[in-house]
Every structure is written in C-alpha cells, then in structure tokens.
Chains A and B, each alone.
Chain A
Amino acid sequence: MYLIQIKDLSFSYASKKDALKHINLNIEKGTFTCIVGENGSGKSTLLKCILGLNKGYTGEIIKETHIGYLPQKSDIQTNFPATIEEVVLSGTISNNVRSVFYKKEDKEKAKDVMQKLGIYDIRKKCFANISGGQQQRVLIARALCATKDIIILDEPTNGLDPSISKQIYELLDKLKKEDKITIFMVSHDVERALNYADTVVELLNGEIVFNGKPQDFKLGGAN
C-alpha cells in the first residue's frame, strides 16, 4: 500500500527554474527511504512539496495520511523558553486544530511517545538546554504525535557527532520495525543511509537518477 504517491511533479522557484523535474515516486507503507544528493539537487524542495509548504507545483501528490514532520533546525529555537513536554505536546495540533486546549488523549499520546523515546523523565527540562541528539529525539517525538503512519525528516543528523547520529538512525529503524512507522528522510550522510534504508533515491539537478535498493546503489550507483 502506498502512503504517498507522487506523479509527474515539477516545481520552479521564482529565483530557480526547474528545481524539480517530472518526479515520479511512491512511498510504500512500512519502508525506510533515504533521499540523497548534492546541495541544491532538490531534496528539501521535494519534501516541501510533499508537505504542502511549496505551493504552485505541477503534477499530483496523493497523501493517504497525516504526516509527522521534522524540519531543519531554526535559530529561533536556540534560546527559546519551552519544555520538552510543551514541544512534544504541540505535535498533536493537527489532530484537532479547532479546539482551544489540549485534550486528554493528546496528553496521553505525548506521554506514551516520550516514554517510548526515553525522554519522559526529563520532560520538564528546557528544550534549548539539552544536547543536540536529545533535541532531535524530542522533535521525532513531536512528529510522532502528529501521525501514526509516516514521519518525514530533513537532515535530522546534521551537525551531530557520528555516534549520536548512529543512535538517531537506530531509533528510526526501531520505530519502523516495532511500530510500523514509515520513514522518509533527506540525508547528507550517504554511508549510513545505505546501512539503514530499504530504498535509496538519488536526486541530481531536480531529477531522480537512482531509485532502488541500497546494495544496488553501492554497486552500480550513479557515482
């Protein structure tokens, strides 16, 4: 079953024409997909189209479910007063946009997710004061509050130590295996992406130049 189907997607920015050209891609339930490619190859643009952040594309994107999103870090967050609990809980917003307060089931969902990711005991700590690896864990927890099917991540291991970034990949792998969460991520870390992904997609100048199993990417690969 496909959670997301992309048919003949093209997108241009005002400043950059053909950022994406005729992309066809299906994301199957329960898979771990890594998007790799050079800077400016269209990886983040593709994510933004899927998430509805880039408007005015041509082609079609069919989404079967809510998506949990983990954006790249913004510098506003470096000094932001917010507890881990507040951040994780905010992920539940898409389940009931209308209501004024968080509902009981939102709070329970957030608690479950925090326990699963081992951040429940530090939930009162300030998000800005914990380590980079912990912050990514919190943001993954927030994404999981928004969905029960698929999380999309934009370079989640950017700027992390290799050992910490390995932990993040292991966590994602565990979520895929134990909770059947589909993982779709942009990665600059090709080596590791190949170890964990079921499918590797390589973008070059807005086009898909490889879409297949990681072992084939190693052997035949575009590079």
Chain B
Amino acid sequence: MFETIAEMMSHLFIQRAVLVGTLISVCAALLGVSLVLKRYSMIGDGLSHVGFGVLTVATAFGATTPLYIAIPCVTISAIILLKIGNNSKIKSDSAIALIASSALAIGVAATSVTTGMNTDVCNFMFGSILAMNKTDVILSIIVSIIVAILFIIYYRKLFIVTFDEEFAKASGLRAKRYTNIIAVLTALIIVIGMRMMGVMLISSIIIFPALTSMRIFKSFKGVVISSAVISVISFLIGIYLSYIYNISTGAMIVIVNLVIFVLFTIIEKIIHE
C-alpha cells in the first residue's frame, strides 16, 4: 500500500489534487456545518449548477481561464439566492430549483451551439483531477486560506447567528451579514471544488461531513472539528481508491463519505441502546 501511495504521489497532477483537495475538503466541511444547521443545504447544489452554466458559456466563448468569470457570477448568485429566500413570495427551495435548472439549461444550450458534449463538459459534470492547472492550484490555496481565517475570526458570531438569529440581532450582531459571508465563501469553495468533484457531486462534500459528525458529536465545537477531519479522511481515502481502481475521483469521495455516514449512524444507534 505504501509503495502504491509513493508511486501515486510521484505524479505532479496527483500532488496538486491532494493539496487542493485537502484544502477544499476542510473549507467545505467548515461551511457545511453552518449551512446544514441553517437548513440551507440545497444552496450548495444550486450554486454548483450556476457554476456549470457559467463555466460552459465562458468556455464556449473561448475564455482561457473560465474560473475568473465563474467566481464573481456564482458569488452574486449566492447573494441573490439568500435575498430571495429571505424576503419574497418565492420560497428559497423553489428559488434554488428555478435558478439551478435555468443555469444548467443555459449551459447545455451553449455547448450544443458550439462544441457539443465533449470531454470538457463531461469534466465539469463529473469532475476530473486532471483538470487542475497551476492557476487552479494557486487560486484554491488563496481562497482556502481566506475561508479558514474568516471562519476562525467569526466562529463565535457564526455560532450565535446559527443557533438563534433573534438573540444575535438583539445582541447587536448584524445577522444577515454573517449569512452573506457564509454564502459568498460557499460560492468560492464550490467554484474551485467543482473542477475536481464535478457539478453533480460537489454539494455532497459540503453536507456529508456535517451530517455525519452530528450523528455522534453533540457540541458545536466537536461537530466543527470532526467535520473537518472526516472530510479530509474521506477525500484521501477516496482519491487513493480512485487511483487504484481507476474510478472517478469525485464519485469515489462521495461513496467514502456515504460509508462513513452509515458507520456513524450505526455507532449512534449502538450508543443510544
């Protein structure tokens, strides 16, 4: 096994993927705790579809680094989604469904007009660790560090805002601001993570670690730490198995997450009996 790992790590593209993937896994898990508890789980899914739409359109028009276009577009969508959910007649779950399917449709239409369903589009859908280039690596390192620092700085406030928005507001916190910060950071992580995980699968690495941790851990701090750890472990096992058995990396990571979730659920049942 160690020889395989050594051989695996000798490839530059794997080194990149491991570095970027570990950073993204930690950040996705941290954000996921707040999103799951706030009942915003579906936002990740909606935003990844928007990301797909933007990336395909940008590629169709020949943009060399579609990420530069995708990041601002998805970020703006994130804020719009939250705004709609907060104060309009369209409920947020319907709003997400509307925006997600529209973005997907526009993306598919753009590819039909230009290149057709080629490998690039397939990579967007299901992810590919080969898709990582140097720009992706640098961008993801920067974004991950920003997410991690903001999460630590706002940890206290995020807890209060997530646990009890009314109390947070009465204590003088601008609760909306923290929800917006979470949405923007989620947008960034999704755009960067979807190259590796794929549009269809990226939201699972946001949701799974938090849900898994909540089976066993009953403190906020415990859930946050456990989510980050579970996320990284799932990623590393996933990329290893994907390398050995030649299975799509994104899919493998989600399956490992699923297995750990089931394990934790069983352990929870045993503890409670």
Contacts and interface: CB of A to CB of B under 8 A. Distances in A.
User: Is this pair of chains taken from one and the same complex?
Assistant: yes
A129 B160 CA distance: 19
B156 A81 contact: no
A67 interface: yes
Nearest to A83: B219
A33 B250 CA distance: 59
B163 A90 contact: yes
Interface stretch (B101-109, B115-123, B166-174): B166-174
B152 interface: yes
A131 interface: no
B223 A81 contact: yes
Contacts of A67: 170
A94 B168 CA distance: 9
B11 to A, nearest CB: 39
Interface residues of B, number: 31
Contact of A94 (B164, B172, B220, B223): B172
Contacts of B213: 81
A182 B152 CA distance: 36
Nearest to B214: A81
Contacts of B164: 71, 74, 76-77
Contact of A100 (B153, B168, B173): B153
Given A76-B163, A82-B163, A142-B167, A97 B173 contact: yes
A86 B220 contact: yes
Contacts of B38: 76
B209 to A, nearest CB: 13
A3 interface: no
Interface in B142-180: 152-153, 155-157, 159-160, 162-173
Contact of A76 (B37, B169, B222, B223): B37
Interface in A41-97: 51-53, 67, 69, 71-72, 74, 76-77, 79-83, 86-87, 90-91, 93-94, 97
Nearest to B37: A80
Nearest to A51: B170
B170 A101 contact: no
B221 interface: yes
A46 B217 CA distance: 38
Interface string B223-234: 100000000000
A94 B157 CA distance: 10
Contacts of B37: 76, 80-81
A118 B170 CA distance: 26
Given A81-B223, A97-B157, 7 more contacts: A77-B163, A81-B37, A81-B222, A86-B219, A93-B156, A94-B171, A97-B172
